[in-house]
């Protein structure tokens, strides 16, 4: 099940785009915990040194584990960009540090990386190492503009956005480094509970764009209050079910959404992979 490219054996899944508020960290944590509960060894990496939502989520989880010792934990790392008077020297030092980190994490089955909602050198590095790149976007044409610029006068006149161009460049970096490829998935996330004309139209455009821009299309989590509540304890839907034993219809639906994500990633269970 694990993909081997050169010396890399851990499967690297990167959550990235250049816009905040799309649920990257929530998705990353839920995927990491799902893999941990299946018995996989998971490393998590936060390259958003400024906001650090992924890191704070994991810190909250470690604190909660003192009360619940059986709570599965990842091995977590934070990446900080080297500060140097020379931009080129700073980027070189960060690149070398990131490469060493990735090498040290090859004992794990999966490496889950969360990136900032802006353009940064560490974010580009993370993208270039991805086996799978997951780009969550909200159900909005504003977020669609992140991928491609569409002119209302001529919908067929497409121009790649700066983010799409960055992904393309990192795909080339990956190919040069180890002849690997990046499976790019655009995931419509934070979906509204009620179907809308805007959402249906957005999906049609995304389906049409997927082949032209080079990504697979998937659906993420619906907007749920519980995801915001779980952050302070570092817990996930999976933990909530295990610890409380109380399962609501919302929990079941969220679990189904998570299972769909695993299926989209072609991830089998630990038992099945053996």
HSE value, Cβ hemisphere, 13 Å, CA-based, for 268: 8
Hey, what CATH topology would domain 11-273 get?
A: Rossmann fold (3.40.50)
pLDDT for 272: 52
pLDDT for 2: 39
Residue 11, both tokens:
């499967």
Name the band, by pLDDT with cuts 50, 70 and 90, for residue 104.
Answer: very high
Beta bridge partners of 133: 14, 184
CB 223 within 8 A of CB 27: no
Closest to 185 measured CA to CA, from 273, 262, 76: 262
CB neighbours (10 Å) of residue 53? 19
* pLDDT at residue 119 tops 90: no
Domains in the chain: boundaries: 11-273
* pLDDT at residue 82 tops 50: yes
pLDDT for 4: 38
Averaged pLDDT score across all residues of the chain: 86
Mean pLDDT along residues 259-271: 80
Q: Which of 252 and 198 is assigned the larger pLDDT?
A: 252
24-37 vs 53-65: helix crossing angle, rounded to 10? 40
Q: What percent of the chain has pLDDT over 90?
A: 47
* pLDDT at residue 222 tops 60: yes
């Amino acid at each position: 099940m694990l993909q081997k490219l050169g010396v890399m054996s851990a499967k690297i899944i990167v959550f990235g785009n250049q816009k905040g508020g799309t649920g990257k960290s929530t998705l990353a944590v839920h995927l990491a915990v799902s893999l941990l509960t299946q018995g996989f060894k998971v490393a998590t990496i936060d390259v958003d040194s400024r906001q650090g939502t992924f890191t704070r989520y994991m810190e909250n989880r470690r604190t909660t584990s003192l009360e619940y010792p059986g709570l599965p934990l990842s091995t977590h790392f934070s990446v900080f960009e080297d500060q140097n008077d020379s931009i080129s020297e700073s980027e070189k030092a960060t690149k070398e540090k990131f490469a060493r980190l990735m090498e040290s994490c090859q004992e794990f089955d999966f490496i889950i990386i969360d990136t900032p909602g802006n353009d940064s050198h560490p974010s580009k590095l993370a993208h270039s190492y991805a086996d799978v790149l997951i780009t969550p976007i909200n159900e909005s044409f504003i977020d669609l503009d992140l991928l491609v610029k569409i002119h209302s006068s001529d919908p067929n006149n497409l121009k790649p956005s700066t983010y799409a161009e960055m992904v393309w460049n990192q795909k080339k970096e990956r190919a040069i480094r180890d002849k690997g490829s990046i499976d790019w998935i655009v995931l419509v996330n934070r979906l509204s509970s009620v179907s809308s004309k805007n959402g249906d139209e957005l999906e049609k455009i995304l389906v049409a764009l997927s082949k032209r821009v080079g990504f697979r299309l998937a659906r993420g989590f619906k907007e749920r209050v519980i995801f915001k509540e779980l952050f302070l304890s570092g817990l996930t839907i999976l933990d909530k079910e295990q610890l409380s034993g109380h399962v609501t219809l919302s929990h079941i639906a969220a679990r189904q959404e998570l299972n769909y994500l695993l299926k989209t990633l072609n991830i089998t269970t630990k038992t099945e992979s053996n």
